[in-house]
Each structure stands twice: as C-alpha cells, then as structure tokens.
Amino acid sequence: MEYESVIGLEIHAELNTESKMFCGCGTHFGEAPNTQTCPVCLGLPGSLPVANAKAIEYVIKSGLAVGCGINLYSIFHRKNYFYPDMPKDYQISQYDQPLCINGFIDLDMNDYQTRIGITRIHLEEDTGKLIHIGGAGRIAGAKYSLVDFNRAGVPLMEIVSEPDIRTPEEAKAYAQKLRAVLITLGVSDCSMEKGSMRVDANISIRPKGSTGLGVKTELKNLNSFRSLQRALAYEIERQAKALNEGKPEEIVQETRHWDEAKGATSTLRTKEYAHDYRYFPDPDLVPMEFDIAYIDFLRSQLPELPNERKQRFIKEYGLPVHEANLLTESKAMGDFFEETAKLYKGDPKAVANWMLGDMSYYLNTEGLEIDETAVTPKHLAELLKLIDKGVISGKIAKEIFPEMFETGKLPQVIVEEKGMTQISDEAEISKIIDMVLEENTSTVEEYRAGKDKAFGFLIGQAMRLTRGRGNPQLINRLLREKLQA
C-alpha cells in the first residue's frame, strides 16, 4: 500500500522584547536562575498582569508578513493545567479569538511549488524551565528536578499550520522559511539551540488518494531542522509498517519523544484534548481592540520579506531560482551574499557558487551558521578578486578556503605565507610544457592522431609539475601552440 503523510507544525517562537509578557521583568537569556522574576511571573496571590504592547505589535506584524487576517477584537484565555514549571497553575494564552488567522507560506521546492496554510497565530506566555538531575536529563529516572522561572512569562508566539505539509522536506522548508520571516522582522532570534524556536509536528498517514485522516501522533524534542526531518521520516515509516502488518492499534493519538541519538520516537504521554484545559477568558486582562489605521501602519512598517528578496535576487543579480531560494533561506545568508557581491563587484553568480558550494560544505561539516564563522564577506570577495586577477587559480582558491574558514586569515595573507601564487610567467610555463611533451611522446602522438582526450591528460601533467600553481589559461594556450607547431 502506498501512503501519503499529512503533517501540521506548531511552532513556538519567543519574542525578543525587553520585558516579559505581563510584567516588567527582563527576558535576557542565560542569567542566573530565578533572578528575573517578580510577584506577577511567580504567580503570587494578588499580583495582576498587564499586557506588553510591543509583544502584541510583534505578533500582528508576523501575521501580516504571512498573509494573515488580523482580528480587530482579541482576548486572552487561561489554559489550566498543573505542572511545576507553571506557578499560577494556568498559562495565559489565547483560545477562540487569537490575534491572527488564515495566513500562508509559499514554498519553492526543487521541482514544484506549494502553499502551506497557517491556521492561526496567537500570543501566550512561556513557562519556567525544569532541569532534571540524573536520569540523562529526562524526567524519567531523574533523582529530582530544579525549576528556573526566568523564562516564565516571556512572550511566546504560537504559529499553527494547516495539515497541508506532505513530506519531511516540505516540513523543513516551511519551518526554515518561517524562521527567515521572523528573523527578518526582528521579532525573535529563533534559535533552536537556545530554545527560542521550538517545533512540534503532528503527523498521520493515509492511503494515497484518500481524503480521510488517519490517527495522528505529535512529535516533540525536535531540536534542529535536521531532527524535524529525520523524526518525521521515522514516524512515517513506523506508521506505515503498523498499517501494513495489520496492527493499526499501534498508532494511537499520543505525544512521542524524538531521540536524536537513537534515531527513533517513543511514547511520552497520551495526547490531551482541548477540553482538558478548561479554557476561560482571563478576567484580569482587558480585551485587545485595534483600529484599521493601526494595522495599516504596522503593515507599512514591514521590511523586505524573504520571498520578495528571492525575487529581487533573481532580477537584480541574475541568479537562477534554486540559488536565489537557498540564499534567502536565512537572513544571514542573504545579507552575506549581498555584502560580498557589493565588495567583489564581479559576477554575483561566482559569489553564489562559492557560498552554496565550498562555504555550505564547511558550514554543514562544522554545524555552524554563516554568521558564526571567521569568514566574512570581505574574505570571500578578496578570494574571488585574487582568482580574477590571475594571482591564484580556482583550484588553489579551494585549498585556501578551509584555512580561511578555520583561521580567519585574509586570502592574500595565506597566499603569501604559503607561496601559493599562480605561475603566470610565460617562459617558466613554456619550460614545463616542454618537459611534459618530452616525457609523454606516445600521448602526443595519440593527440595528433585525433584523440582529444590526450590533451586533457597533458594539461593534467603540466598542472602536476607546477603543483597546481600554473595559470590554467596560459598552460592551455601554450600547450595547444606547441602541439600545433
């Protein structure tokens, strides 16, 4: 049986406001535990919340950026549950009147395009953080748990997608695009590592062509885009296996934990339903009412968004769609590209090729983001200029790149230190070619007999003798001249 998967993502992004959602406490990450707290975010009796206007503005801007309608009347609800990370025993969230509804994100997959609907975006407060001691950091098997309320009350935006996603690749592309939008807006730093962006995935499968919905599971602990993609692929296979073996009872509505090291999901808890939370309007907070002029004003403040930037890259720099798509996947990539192109002044496609080739390779290998390395736009621009000027060959540039990446030294410094300059002296190259011709008389005859392949071999020999430093154009020209003489 062939199956199709139905995936929806719930993405939480912490907003990078100066203060918390309902009190004046700071939101800075990494402070000593429980130092950024007050009676409101500790849920002490008698304390009253006041909503953070900046956070509301950020959510509306996010909604506008992904084509959402904005509810002109919106309220906060209490979501009741008991857990030690939530001192009030309820979380202030939104229920049936969220700030934003009905948006979308357009994805450019390699050979097709698709639109993923966004059901809603709402505003809530984050919970405290539990640190489990012993038991490999998980609650199961832990000796005791510590709680840090610094995060309790940090503004949190939840973006719920429609179940429009069909593959793990689309899920990753959607999450990445959304992240690029939020970073471009400057509303969140969206760090999956620090937990300021958290992705949960709902996944079910159904026979291809059917429109019904299977039983879904929710996947948690997806700490990177890679985890998201891997966890979904695993879960699709697990569910398909259960159905194929006639054991549908193995798929139950539940929350499953992704174990990155094991590469598998396992049951965390059975899924709760909305009515379990006994939502009711928060009587301590006034409703939010907006006028159209305010919404229009926020709309006019939106910066250039990733999809717009992609279109501009295609038009302004002549990049193919695929390259433009990759370069606008993150704001940092796009910024790096534009700065390098400006410094280099040569063909922007060369910049794109280096960024998506060697640079991406080393970034992936080291697991780094582009703004976390020693290589700056100046480095790459200088490297490209050295190639254009004929100081180094493209091959040498490829050798310089990893050293530049590791040490942050400028390319010309590395070239001088290692004596890697290209040999462009005609007399010197001429001598080398004479040697090649003498040593390879049979290949020369083959070439003269019409075997074109032989030419490439002779070029290779000349490059070998110059240890890759010979100017390729010069070698090519002189070799051709000498063979025709």
Q: Which residues bind Zn ion (CB under 5 A)?
A: 23, 25, 38, 40-41
- Distance (Å, whole) CA 407 – CA 414: 10
Q: How far is the CB of 17 from Zn ion (least distance, A)?
A: 13
Instruction: State both tokens at 25.
Output: 């406490």
Dihedral over Cα of 187, 311, 163, 195: its sign: negative
Q: How far is the CB of 286 from Zn ion (least distance, A)?
A: 19
- Distance (Å, whole) CA 17 – CA 293: 23
For 177-305, strand residue ranges (E) read 197-207, 217-222, 254-259, 264-270, 280-281, 288-289
Amino acid type, 485: A
Looking at beta carbons only, is 38 or 142 nearer to Zn ion? 38
- Distance (Å, whole) CA 184 – CA 177: 10
Looking at beta carbons only, is 147 or 413 nearer to Zn ion? 147
Looking at beta carbons only, is 25 or 118 nearer to Zn ion? 25
Q: How far is the CB of 317 from Zn ion (least distance, A)?
A: 47
Q: Torsion angle of alpha carbons 261, 11, 9, 331, nearest 10°?
A: -90
Looking at beta carbons only, is 38 or 410 nearer to Zn ion? 38
- Please report, in angstroms and rounded to a whole number, the separation of the first and last CA atoms in the chain: 68
Q: How far is the CB of 40 from Zn ion (least distance, A)?
A: 5
Q: How far is the CB of 42 from Zn ion (least distance, A)?
A: 7
Angle at 143 between CA 137 and CA 145, to 5 degrees: 65
Q: How far is the CB of 128 from Zn ion (least distance, A)?
A: 11
Looking at beta carbons only, is 27 or 229 nearer to Zn ion? 27
Q: How far is the CB of 15 from Zn ion (least distance, A)?
A: 15
With CA atoms as reference, report the closest residue to 153 among 52, 77, 59, 41: 41
- Distance (Å, whole) CA 92 – CA 88: 9
Looking at beta carbons only, is 25 or 183 nearer to Zn ion? 25
Looking at beta carbons only, is 71 or 150 nearer to Zn ion? 150
Q: How far is the CB of 155 from Zn ion (least distance, A)?
A: 12
Q: At which residue do the structure tokens 């509303």 appear?
A: 187
Q: Which helix (H) or strand (E) holds 91?
A: strand 90-93
Looking at beta carbons only, is 154 or 414 nearer to Zn ion? 154
